[in-house]
Structure 1
């Protein structure tokens, strides 16, 4: 089945795109710039800006640390915290699910590409690997888009969060902006969808059976007649 190797160029691109999308998903989880809050009181939040991620809330402060320079002050948010709003809780769960699904999708598609390149002679494992990988990529992108859209809506509607006192955050910002993390996450979801579609669109080439010799046996009869004459 070496002839199949030239048919998987789009799938090689799909593997690269899916891997980049998975890396972007991981970066999105770690970024704190999901929601950017603008606050009026700069007595503690020195820059007047605070970043609300899905795991941490951070801002620069000259008061909470003994330093002349602005130092980033952060507080963690866990699933068990009652003040965490629904969109952040959903993001904490679904973004991790998306990361796991993306990893499984890349592993499945890599297995399928390996079988094609090494001349695996059975279509079923290859087809199953590509189909499973494509579907897992699509599920991963869906798991990412749901929390991204929920947090985007929260920013556009300027929804508040009642933080505990040790967060030193006001319950309602003066303004909210969409952070870079949401843009990175949407890009990751788009790349993941592209990769999934490329793998689901793979089709095996159709080979026509080659004709070897004549099927009516006329050549053999002629040969036999020549032998009888001799």
Structure 2
């Protein structure tokens, strides 16, 4: 068995980074604040602010409930509906795939670190395990980054969404800006990229000179160790007999 725990401290930290990044990606998927719409007509949207996420469009309203009360009114955004823009469909699909690939990456990282900290056999694929972990983390980051940047671009270009009447959303907002959902997703993606790079750069330590000299030693007839590849020192032997 070979002890390599001292060589993987950075990868242990990378595993935590990857897990935090994966968790933030999952949180971003459920947030509705991807696009924040400012609306001047407050007859239905009482607060003047509506939120559009990957799966829901929501706003606070007095009109859709008993007067005097306010509730968040939300409608589900289906990927099969004709009005759903392609960047939201891509976000629904790619972010879910990112979570699946990221989960596999974290599991591979646990397996690789287990081999390092619990001891490994001579033929254990430790280098391949770390590289696979890094590749999965980077792939998950790319899958998450594509819809994040795509939706951010749609907000910057002030693109609107033609919601059906039951959504009670205006045909276009007065203005819109990037919400916290995209910000959380970008932070999670960045952490997964850093984690993947650290895992991919793992290198097994080289054999030291002392270990090479130790492998070539063997006991002589007196039980002392001499190097099988070295030369005897007569002066040392004569001094030993005194």
Task: Pick the aligned partner of 1:215 from 228, 231, 240.
Answer: 228
1:2 Cα deviation from its structure 2 partner: 4.8
C-alpha displacement of 1:122: 3.4
Task: From the superposition, tell whether residues 164 and 214 of structure 1 become closer, same or farther in structure 2 (CA, over 3 Å).
Answer: same
Q: Secondary structure at the match of 2:74?
A: strand
Please, which moves more after superposition, 180-189 or 201-210?
201-210
What number of residue pairs does the alignment pair up?
A: 219
Does the 8 Å CA contact 1:36/1:52 hold for their aligned counterparts?
yes
- Asked whether the 8 Å contact 1:2–1:118 carries over to 2, the reply is no
Task: Note if contact 1:84-1:161 (Cα within 8 Å) is conserved in structure 2.
Answer: yes
The residue aligned with 1:42 is: 42
Paired residues of 1:2 and 1:117 also in contact (CA < 8 A): no
Would you say 1:100 and 2:113 are equivalent positions? Answer: no
Query: Alpha carbons of 1:218 and 1:139: their partners in 2 closer, same or farther (altered >3 Å)?
Result: closer
Following superposition of structure 1 onto structure 2, how do residues 1-230 of structure 1 map, counting pairs within 5 Å?
1-66=1-66, 68-122=68-122, 124-208=124-208, 209=212, 210=214, 211-212=216-217, 213-215=226-228
SS of equivalent to 2:57:
strand
CA contact (8 A) 2:2 2:121 kept: no
TM-score under structure 1 normalisation? 0.91
Unaligned runs of 5+ in 2: 218-225, 233-242
Equivalent position SS for 2:75: strand
Query: Which ranges of structure 1 fall in alignment gaps of 5 or more residues?
Result: 220-230
Contact 2:2 2:122 in 1 (8 A): no
1:49-105 C-alpha deviation (Å, 9 max, x unpaired): 000000000000001112523210000011111100011011000000110111000
| Counterpart-to-counterpart distance in 2, 1:156 and 1:128 | 41
Q: 1:112 to 1:62 in 2, by over 3 A?
A: same
Aligned-partner SS, 1:60? strand
- Contact map agreement 2:3 2:116 (CA 8 A) in 1: no
Return the TM-score normalized by structure 2.
0.87
Instruction: Write the deviation string for residues 97-155 of structure 1: whole angstroms up to 9, x where unpaired.
Output: 11011100000011000011111113542222111110011011101110000100110
Aligned-pair RMSD on alpha carbons? 1.5
CA contact (8 A) 2:47 2:60 kept: yes
More helix by share: 1
